[in-house]
Amino acid sequence: MTKVNLITGFLGSGKTTTLLHLLAHKPEHEKWAVLVNEFGEIGIDGALLAEGGAILKEIPGGCMCCVNGLPMQVGLNMLLKQAKPDRLLIEPTGLGHPRQLLTMLTSPVYEPWLTLNATLTLLDPRQLGDTRVVENENFRDQLAAADIIIANKRDRWSEQDEARLAEWLRAQGKGRPLLATQHGEIDPALLDTPRGPARDLPQPQHHHAHAAPASGLAA
C-alpha cells in the first residue's frame, strides 16, 4: 500500500523547494516516488533522486489535472505496479486543478493500491496582496482543497503580509491547520496526517476532451 500526498500551491509558492526538503529527510529504508507534470518545470534532477532511493516520473501532455487523460493514469499505474513505492508525492503544475486528481485518487479502483493522506498546499502570503492572484480560479481552488496550509517564505513577509494572512485565515481557513515556515522546511511527519473530511470543491472552469478511464491495475 502506497501512501500518497498531493503537494499543491500557486506558481512561486515554493513547492519544489518543499519537495526537495522532504526528499532530503526520506528514511533510508523507504522507497519514495515523485509524480510531476513536465509543464511545471519542476527542476529536480531525476538521477540525483535515484541515488537517494527516490524515483521521479514526469507526466507528458501539459495539464495533469485532466486525470481522465491516459498519460496521467498510465503514469500513476506504472508507478504503483512496477516501483511499488512506500510513499508517493504528487506535484501538479501551479496551474493545475486539484478536484479531478482527488476524485481519481479516491476512486474504488485505487483503494487496494494507495492510501490518500492530507493534501498540503503552499501559500506565499505576499501573493494575497495581488488582486490578479487572489482572483485566479486555480489559486482559490487549490487552497479550498488543502487539508494543511503551509504559509511559506516567512523570512520575506512584511507586516502587511502577516495582516493579510490573518484576515484570509479568518475568512477562508475553515478551521484547517496553518503552519508558517521558510525555505519549505516542514516536518516530514506532516505527510502521515490523515486526509480531512471531504469538501465540495469547485468544478474547474476549463474543459478538455477526456478519454474513458482505464485502471490498468489488475493484480
44 in any annotated domain: yes
Query: Does the pLDDT at position 147 exceed 90?
Result: yes
Q: What is the share, in percent, of the chain residues with pLDDT greater than 70?
A: 76
213 in any annotated domain: no
Question: What pLDDT is recorded for position 66?
Answer: 55
90 in any annotated domain: yes
- Is residue 143 classed as helix, strand or coil in its secondary structure? helix
81 in any annotated domain: yes
Which residue spans within the chain are E strands per DSSP? 2-9, 32-37, 54-59, 87-91, 114-116, 120-123, 148-151, 178-180
Query: Does the pLDDT at position 97 exceed 90?
Result: no
Cβ neighbours of 143 (radius 10 Å): 20
- Of the pLDDT bands very low, low, confident and very high (cuts 50, 70, 90), residue 42 is low
Higher pLDDT, 207 or 16: 16
The mean pLDDT value of the chain amounts to 83
Question: What pLDDT is recorded for position 207?
Answer: 46
Phi, psi (rounded to 5 degrees) for 116: -85, 115
Angstrom distance (rounded) from CA 84 to CA 171: 41
Instruction: Provide the residue range defining the domain that includes 41.
Output: 2-192
pLDDT in tens, 131-142: 999 999 889 989
User: Which amino acid would we find at residue 89?
Assistant: L
* CATH code: domain of residue 6: 3.40.50.300
Query: Does the pLDDT at position 75 exceed 90?
Result: no
Query: Does the pLDDT at position 116 exceed 80?
Result: yes
Higher pLDDT, 152 or 43: 152
200 in any annotated domain: no
Domain count, the chain: 1
85 in any annotated domain: yes
Question: What pLDDT is recorded for position 114?
Answer: 96
C-alpha cell of residue 76 = 500513476
Phi, psi (rounded to 5 degrees) for 75: -60, -45
Pairing of strands 120-123, 2-9: parallel
Question: What pLDDT is recorded for position 74?
Answer: 83
214 in any annotated domain: no
111 in any annotated domain: yes
Which runs of consecutive H residues, i.e. helices, occur in the chain?
Answer: 15-24, 46-51, 70-78, 98-105, 131-134, 137-144, 159-172
Question: What pLDDT is recorded for position 151?
Answer: 98
Angle between helical axes of 137-144 and 98-105 (0-180°, round to 10): 40
Which residues lie across from 179 on neighbouring strands?
150
Question: What pLDDT is recorded for position 60?
Answer: 66
User: Which amino acid would we find at residue 175?
Assistant: G
